[in-house]
Amino acid sequence: MVGRSSRNIGGLAARRRRNIWVGFSIALVVLLVASGAVLLALKPWTDDFRHGGLTIAAPPAPVRPFPQVAPAPSNAPAPTPAGIAAALAAVVGNPDLGAFAGSVSDADSATVLWSGDANKPMIPSSTAKILTTATALLTLPQDHRVTTRVVAGSTPNELVLVGGGDPTLTAQPDGKGYYPNGPRLSDLVAQIHAAGRAVDTIVVDISAFAGPTMAPGWEPVDIPEGSIAPIEPVMIDGGRLDPLVEYSPRTATPALDAGRRLATELGLDPGRVRIGTAGPGAQQIASVQSVPLRDRLREMMVHSDNVLAEAIGREIAAATGAEPSFTGAVAAVTAALSRAGFDLTGMSMQDNSGLSTEDRVPPRLLDKILATAAKPSGSSAVRPSNTMARPETDRLAVTLAPLLDDLPVAGATGSLAGRYVSRDRAGAGWVRAKTGTLSVASTLVGYVLDHDGRVLTFALMSNDRPPEASRPALDAIAGTLRNCGCS
């Protein structure tokens, strides 16, 4: 019984296996037939097969770029004071402006079109850098460079790092520090090694600068908050503790830190670094140079770099025979602007960066500098330039014209990159201006092409309001000038 049942079960299993094989064979035939149909419909070498049956669009026709930057038209209708006043009436009365003063001029005619307390001394904040830039253009060649040197010390195993006033040295391994194309500490190290001198001590000479390292009206908290470092003639990445971050906390001892980093790169004990002076006529062992002045001015203006502004102020002072200090640099700027014919009544400065809350400048002066730079003969940025013999004022315009190219672009670059983005968008790309921001002051000084194609310069200064309120109000004024057809 058992065996018979086993045979019956075995026979059933055999039949099922045969049925499975028969079913599999039929399915395989069906699959092959279907596959053949697909192969017939979609051949592997066709585009339809390769792209899953999708249709491939024809490539678009080539597009030719057409430059959109052109000189402002020379025949644009002139705006009138009444037209400007009517356009600005609503925006200049904004209570968010607090204590407000301003000036608007027509660059072509050098005519002041609108003013409100334009002679009133106001806290300029970083628009004071316009004064520094204008003075640098008036007194120094645009390719001027600053040198950082290493010389032999007073003992055989001593080297002296001599600061020349350049805060842009970098110690980044790839040489790409905060400042584009800044001089590299590694180049100094390589030259020292090549000289083959035994060394165990580094002295840092900071005698190129004089006086205090912090200006009146500066707050010590601005060092850890990243707005400034004590002004010494040699720094690494502007004294930033994080060399690639704009508002990184800064060191309180930038020159000493530079010497310590040089010692570390040479394999020396950083504890054997001290402040001192180089001997007269000391043998030079190594040197590096900053980028040209024109590049440092642009970096200072676009990113509103306070350390760079103070260093350039002392560069101006040294070149003009003034003391390389806060007091001497301010005196050098004052003298140069006065010689150029600018009325400095109401100007009282403590620094060259505008960080001091004790600085005062009337908007009339800042607008006048911009209007001079933007004269038709002076600016390749806004008008065709003709450098043939002209009156003194036109030669001044030619000298100051590069200042216009150093101004941030609304909604695009530097300290204006985040403005004119969510509001007043009509001014984006058209307003070019230096910004200024302190807790007690916001300012905007620059130029704009109005709706008719006329170049208008402006200086807009708000005090006694927090920047989150006053900055949008200032942006609205400049945006209104852009939209103005005020002839």
- Among the listed residues 111, 138, 97, 120, the one whose alpha carbon sits nearest the alpha carbon of residue 444: 97
Q: How many CB atoms within 10 Å of residue 192?
A: 18
Residue 231 sits at the vertex; the CA angle it makes with 227 and 237, to the nearest 5 degrees, is: 65
Query: Of the residues 105, 304, 325, 462, which is catalytic?
Result: 304
Q: What's the gap between Cα 403 and its chain centre?
A: 14
Query: Of the residues 103, 105, 125, 126, which is catalytic?
Result: 126
DSSP secondary structure of 89-131: HHHHT-GGG-EEEEEEEETTTTEEEEEESTTS-B--GGGGHHH
- Among the listed residues 297, 305, 354, 349, the one whose alpha carbon sits nearest the alpha carbon of residue 327: 349
Q: Outline where DSSP puts E strands in 125-272.
A: 147-152, 158-162, 166-169, 201-205, 234-236
Query: Position 251: which residue type?
Result: T
Rounded distance between C-alpha atoms, residue 436 and residue 434, angstroms: 7
Query: Of the residues 105, 129, 325, 368, which is catalytic?
Result: 129
Rounded distance between C-alpha atoms, residue 81 and residue 105, angstroms: 9
Q: How many CB atoms within 10 Å of residue 36?
A: 10
String of b and e for 242-254 (b: at least 16 CB within 10 Å)? ebeeeebebbebb
Rounded to 5 degrees, φ, ψ at 459 are -135, 115
Rounded distance between C-alpha atoms, residue 449 and residue 324, angstroms: 39
Rounded distance between C-alpha atoms, residue 113 and residue 83, angstroms: 9
Q: How many CB atoms within 10 Å of residue 344?
A: 16
Strands laid side by side in the 284-289 sheet: 273-276, 201-205, 158-162, 147-152, 284-289
Q: How many CB atoms within 10 Å of residue 57?
A: 6
- Both structure tokens of 438: 């302190």
Whether residue 375 lies in the annotated active site: no
Rounded distance between C-alpha atoms, residue 88 and residue 364, angstroms: 17
Whether residue 129 lies in the annotated active site: yes
Q: Answer whether 165's CB lies under 8 Å from 314's CB.
A: yes
Whether residue 304 lies in the annotated active site: yes
- Among the listed residues 306, 302, 297, 254, the one whose alpha carbon sits nearest the alpha carbon of residue 275: 254
Name the 3-class secondary structure at 251: coil
Catalytic residue list:
126, 129, 304
